[in-house]
Amino acid sequence: MGRARRGHAPGFSKVLRAVCRRARPATRRVGRVRTSRLRVILRDVEPAVMRVVDVPASCTLPELHLLLQSAVGWTNSHLHLFMADEMRYGIAHLDAPEDEQDESSVRLGDLPAHFSYLYDFGDGWEHDVEVLGSGDDEPGCRYGEGTCPPEDCGGPPGYAELLLVLADPSREDHLRMRKWAGELADFDQVATDVLVRQTVGQVPASVRLVLDLAEAGVKLTPGGRLPRAFVRQVQQHRPLWYPLGRPASIEEDLPPLAALHDVLRHVGLLRLSKGILRPTRAAADDLQVVRRLRSWFEPDDGFGAILDGLTVAVLETTGPQRSGELAARVHPLLGHGWSKEGQPLTHEDVQTSIAGSSKVLWGLDLVEIEWPLWRAGPSARTLLPRATGLSHLWSKGPADGSGPKV
């Protein structure tokens, strides 16, 4: 299918109700990493909202943005900005002010010990961030207090007014605002800690399998593909990748493996030298592995990245389904403005696009396919940040019953 074009940003504030959940096999965590401990305070809000979170010391500002979203409780639905001394860092775009630098190549270590983080230019949620020093040897949320305000409630003044309305049943707009806001849940330390670690990411077991098997070096076939012995080793661990019930002979017998081979070489985790394929130095660093795998996908606002994230999140929160059912649920969540050859995307277009991504998604343990059913894979919440955030949001269920019925 040709690349879809974007007319305007699709809405991702819709909420799905989690109706099916399945236990996930454990995957190797990003652990024993040098972290920095941050104290984050949401400015001008009562009751006070504060988090203490350990994040990778080497994280970039786009990665830090996602981690702050997870730690505080936002839904990554608006623009953001980092401000340190006289410097401003944000997402690169044509209309960016001259004094605003592209955040993509800036790391946490480049900022001073005190800086601020602005989320949602309309509501204007300002966060004071302080680097307290080194953290534990694994990322996570160490402490927190205070409920994160609802999105789009009008910033600190609007939130203060909302709390007054919710506390007074005699107010004319009490029921309407109660329905809109739902129950403002107390801060959940355990759930936030899990979400922060999921946002940092985990190396998919399938990726670690291939990298470990290639550790001693693999001599490729004259056609540049993986040899039979290697393919069969992978098949022992991933029998569904070749469902014909007999030993595989070539790499293409296991389509997810063939896709994974290409991905790992493209992102620089496997390198061919003198006919021998070996992992690169980056393959020994879990953070680098996750970062490079994420780089395979299009920019965050590209059609492919949005579609893949929605596909995985829908499977994670609704359970196994056929490809047509999956496309029917994903299609309306894309929002308006996407087109193919000048025509709005159809359900069939979406189904074709999802099918085109299936080998890579399967190879990265993001989905599992046992024909005719698709289901979320063990990396569904730990590789793609969009899928992580949406799965967390949707699994909490809608506050007022609105949103797609799934």
Show the domain range for 249: 205-287
Of 144, 145, 136, give the one whose Cα is nearest residue 54: 136
Q: Are 55 and 99 in contact (CB under 8 A)?
A: no
Q: What b/e string do you get for 284-308 counting C-beta neighbours within 10 Å, with b at 16 or more?
A: ebbbbbbbbbbeebeebeebbbbbb
Q: Are residues 261 and 174 in the same domain?
A: no
Q: Count of domains in the chain?
A: 2
Q: Are residues 151 and 181 in the same domain?
A: yes
Q: Residue 71: inside a domain, yes or no?
A: yes
For the record, the structure tokens of 159 come out as 């939130």
Q: Are 306 and 334 in contact (CB under 8 A)?
A: yes
Kind of pairing, strands 276-279 and 367-370?
unpaired
Q: Are residues 39 and 181 in the same domain?
A: yes
In angstroms, the Cα distances linking 297 to 6, 103, 308 are: 17, 19, 9
Q: Are residues 120 and 228 in the same domain?
A: no
Say what the pLDDT of residue 264 is: 98
For the record, the structure tokens of 123 come out as 């509501």
Out of 144, 179, 199, a domain closes at 199
Q: Are residues 186 and 258 in the same domain?
A: no
Which tens digit of pLDDT belongs to each residue from 63-120?
999 999 999 999 999 999 999 998 999 988 767 677 789 999 999 999 999 999 999 9
Q: Are residues 241 and 101 in the same domain?
A: no
Say what the pLDDT of residue 30 is: 53
Q: Are 28 and 205 in contact (CB under 8 A)?
A: yes
Q: Are residues 224 and 209 in the same domain?
A: yes
Say what the pLDDT of residue 341 is: 87
Residues in contact with 343: Cβ distance below 8 Å, sequence separation at least 6, in sequence order:
none
Domain with 256 in it: what CATH number? Answer: 1.10.10
Q: Are residues 41 and 180 in the same domain?
A: yes
Q: Are 295 and 267 in contact (CB under 8 A)?
A: yes
- d(CA 231, CA 238) in angstroms, rounded, equals 10
Q: Are residues 92 and 222 in the same domain?
A: no
Which tens digit of pLDDT belongs to each residue from 329-372?
999 999 888 988 888 999 999 999 999 999 999 999 999 999 89
Q: Are residues 168 and 216 in the same domain?
A: no
Residues in contact with 95: Cβ distance below 8 Å, sequence separation at least 6, in sequence order:
none
pTM (two decimals): 0.87
Intervals of the chain under pLDDT 50: 1-29, 399-406
Burial class (CB in 10 A: 0-12, 13-18, 19+), 58: middle
Q: Residue 172: inside a domain, yes or no?
A: yes
Say what the pLDDT of residue 26 is: 39
Q: Residue 151: inside a domain, yes or no?
A: yes
